[in-house]
A and B are shown apart, each in its own frame.
Chain A
């Protein structure tokens, strides 16, 4: 939806800020007679205008797009295999043959970083969807059903919030690793589990957010009108309440992607994530840390990749907050 707006807006960027104020009275007076071209902003255009004002967020969006493009297309262009062992050229610094150097087995770091990025981003996005799905579901149910169910669900959210995430994450992975591996295979099993566990431990903030939004929106007149017209509860939620509660949820979702990427990298870094032969960013960093004195390029390559991704996602989240959730101060 927001993707369709930039072309039309960037053309008249300087006037767009003041234009609605000027155009409004004129349009109000002459609207029925003169079909004059007037400035009309859909909510998404308005959001895009506000997002564009956050310069760091726009820059971050460009950086993130470049990184996603590199991860998506890169392995097609840079066809060096990720596991070609070559002891003759191990722990070499950057060169033309290996732009980011090689690791302790002589494998190409660039190819491994590109491959690892796919996993990190896939885990981040999938875990975000799990977290947001559960969060919206719980928040919506709690927000619509005040009373005992609401209290129970919020108690549950508080309980989950006071759990130490990383130890619990480690515990679950430690206990369920082997059986999932048997069902889904070594890669798929770990992927499914990491996504579910990371997402399952991050639904609480969005649940509380959605509930708070629901509590205020469901008392608004337009929902009351829908209720008076006989809209069922599901219809009220899907048609009227949820679309209006979506802004803060999108912001939370963005932040969740960053958090999930960090969580996955932390697991891999601690040696409890994906199997050792799959080069995720965290795993690369963990392998590289023992060679920090002779091959710092190895650790820096994957570390900077994580940092840039997370930083740009966080900035985009901040920009989206300005755009979609203007009342928030933080």
Chain B
């Protein structure tokens, strides 16, 4: 991969981030409601004082100046103060972010582990019984909304069978193996919900990608040389079929984050998704803005990683 492509791609992140920040700030600026409305309504505060405070915090400045100030503050890491949790927003998010990333990462891993073999098998035997069953199950999988799957799993595994806990606890008082076992046990259901939802849509992408590649001439050549079918599939077909899948995984990331919010809410996983919901129910605007911004950054980051990976896997991309 050429260094030039890498630099060009890295530079493209800047307009994307700026665009997203402008969009978020526009939404915030267009929104009705004034942080000083309570102050203005309070008869004990004279209007001159309220006006002086407004001028001091620059609330009457034109919108682009306010945007610029907000952007500089965000870049400096001054993300505001959470009224609900009584701590700085950046610390709050840093506390919660690892949990979310672990859950999403594990779910993606599960999705890939499920989708790869199923998709490849279905793609190499199109319209067979296996393909039809896999296809139908995939449809069921991504038609089941995550909040319903979560409740179903709780109903079966926590209430009927009583195998798994349905509330995620951060304060497990155990050590050594038990500690890890408890953590794994309580992560199983959130990861399953997200992973199977993801895996279901991934199966179809892998399948169609394999179908595209299997028809190519070089696969016929490989077979004609007498290479075994298993080796043709694993060495020649799958490797090339997976290249477009990388991009599709990245394009799915916004949906994954949406699913993560729901899943964290159901299982009470202390990640940034549940933080967002609780902040909304408590009118904690700085936290809401920050979490939305973090989610956007993560999506842009995933797109960047996918593009770089894509160019590394398929060098033709860098020479467009």
Task: Determine the distance from Cα of A262 to Cα of B261 in the docked complex, in whole angstroms.
Answer: 14
Is there contact, CB below 8 Å, between B276 and A269? no
CA distance A178 to B205 in the complex (A): 41
Contact, CB under 8 Å: B142 / A314: yes
Given the contacts A282-B147, A306-B145, A170 and B276 also touching, CB distance less than 8 Å: yes
C-alpha gap A254/B32 in the complex (Å): 34
| A285-B149 Cα distance, complex, nearest whole Å | 11
Cβ A167 vs Cβ B151 within 8 A: no
Task: Name the contact of B32 in the complex, choosing from A161, A165, A178 (C-beta under 8 A).
Answer: A178
Tell which of B143, B205, B291 touches A314, judged by Cβ atoms closer than 8 Å: B143
Q: How far is the CB of A224 from chain B (nearest CB, A)?
A: 28
How many CB-defined contacts (below 8 Å) exist between A and B?
A: 138
Docked-complex contact A176 and B31, CB < 8 angstroms: yes
Q: B159–A293 contact, CB under 8 A?
A: yes
Cβ-closest chain A residue relative to B136: A56
B194 within 8 A of A: no
Complex contact B288–A289 (CB within 8 A)? no
Residues of chain B in range 1-35 having any CB-CB distance to chain A below 8 Å:
15-16, 19-20, 23-24, 27-28, 30-33
- A161 with B251: CB separation less than 8 A: yes
Specify the chain B residue showing the minimal Cβ separation from A159.
B19
A203 to B253, CA, bound (A): 18
User: What B residues does A285 contact at CB under 8 A?
Assistant: 147-148, 151
A8 at interface, CB cutoff 8 A: no
Size band of the A side of the interface? 35 or more
Q: What's the least CB distance linking A240 to chain B, in Å?
A: 31
Given the interface contacts A310-B145, A311-B139, A314-B143, does A167 sit within 8 Å of B251 by beta carbon? no
Judge if B78 is at the interface, Cβ distance under 8 Å. Answer: no
Residues of the B chain whose Cβ atoms lie less than 8 Å from the Cβ of A170:
261, 276-277, 280, 288, 292
A167 to B205, CA, bound (A): 25
Residue A322 at the B interface, CB < 8 A? no
B45 at interface by CB-CB < 8 Å:
no
Instruction: Report yes or no: A167 in contact with B257, Cβ–Cβ below 8 A.
Output: yes
Q: How many B residues touch A, CB cutoff 8 Å?
A: 55
Partner of B159, one of A292, A303, A314, A315: A292
Partner of B16, one of A162, A265, A266, A306: A162
Interface residue? A168 (CB, 8 A): yes
A272 to B177, CA, bound (A): 40
Bound-state CA distance A271–B32 (Å) is: 21
Q: Is the CB of B143 within 8 A of A307?
A: yes
Q: Which residues of B contact A315 (CB under 8 A)?
A: 139
B211 at the interface (CB under 8 A from A): yes
A272 in contact with B145 given A176-B31, A303-B152 (CB within 8 Å): no
B115: interface (CB < 8 Å): no
- B288 adjacent to A171 (CB under 8 Å): yes
A159 touching B151, Cβ below 8 Å: no
- Asked, given contacts A178-B33, A282-B147, whether A162 binds B258 with beta carbons under 8 Å apart, the answer is no
In angstroms, Cα B262 to Cα A271, docked, is 11
Instruction: Check: B155 CB closer than 8 A to any chain A CB.
Output: yes
Q: For the complex, is B281 an interface residue (Cβ under 8 Å from A)?
A: yes
| B266 within 8 Å of A (CB atoms) | yes
Contacting B at CB under 8 A, from A139-171, are: 155, 158-159, 161-168, 170-171
Q: Which residue of A lies closest to B204 (CB)?
A: A330
Q: Contact at A307–B23, with CB atoms within 8 Å?
A: no
Q: Which residues of A contact B281 (CB under 8 A)?
A: 271
User: What does DSSP make chain A's interface, helix, strand, loop or mixed?
Assistant: helix
**Chain A residues in 8 Å Cβ range of B280:** 170, 174, 272
Is A73 an interface position by the 8 A CB rule?
no
By a CB distance below 8 angstroms, the chain B residues around A165 are 254-255, 258
Q: From B261, which residue of chain A is reached at the shortest CB distance?
A: A166
Bound Cα distance from A266 to B148, whole angstroms: 10
B147 CB to nearest chain A CB (Å):
5
Pairwise interchain contact A167-B276, C-beta atoms closer than 8 A: yes
Q: A266-B147, A285-B147, A314-B143 are in contact. Are A162 and B28 (CB under 8 A)?
A: no
CB of A183, distance to nearest CB on chain B (Å)? 10
**B300 interface contact, C-beta 8 A:** yes
Q: With A162-B300, A167-B295, A307-B143 known to touch, is A175 a contact of B254 (CB < 8 Å)?
A: no
B296 close to chain A: CB less than 8 A: yes
In contact, A167 and B261 (Cβ under 8 angstroms) = yes
B265, CB-defined interface residue at 8 Å: yes
Which one of B23, B33, B140, B208 lies within 8 Å of A311 (CB-CB)?
A: B140
Residues on A with C-beta less than 8 A from B265 are 270
Contact A163 B139 (CB under 8 A): no
A65 within 8 A of B: no
Q: Which residues of B contact A289 (CB under 8 A)?
A: 151, 266
17 residue pairs from A and B, CB less than 8 Å apart: A158-B16, A162-B16, A164-B299, A165-B255, A166-B254, A166-B258, A171-B27, A171-B288, A265-B147, A266-B146, A266-B262, A270-B262, A270-B265, A288-B151, A292-B159, A299-B155, A303-B151
Given contacts A170-B292, A175-B33, A266-B262, 7 further A-B contacts (CB under 8 A): A56-B139, A266-B145, A285-B147, A292-B154, A303-B151, A306-B148, A330-B208
Residues of A in contact with B (beta carbons under 8 Å apart):
56, 155, 158-159, 161-168, 170-172, 174-176, 178-179, 258, 262, 265-266, 269-272, 282, 285-286, 288-289, 292-293, 296, 299, 303, 306-307, 310-311, 314-315, 318, 329-330
Q: Closest 7 CB pairs between A and B?
A: A166-B258, A175-B31, A311-B143, A164-B295, A179-B32, A303-B148, A330-B208
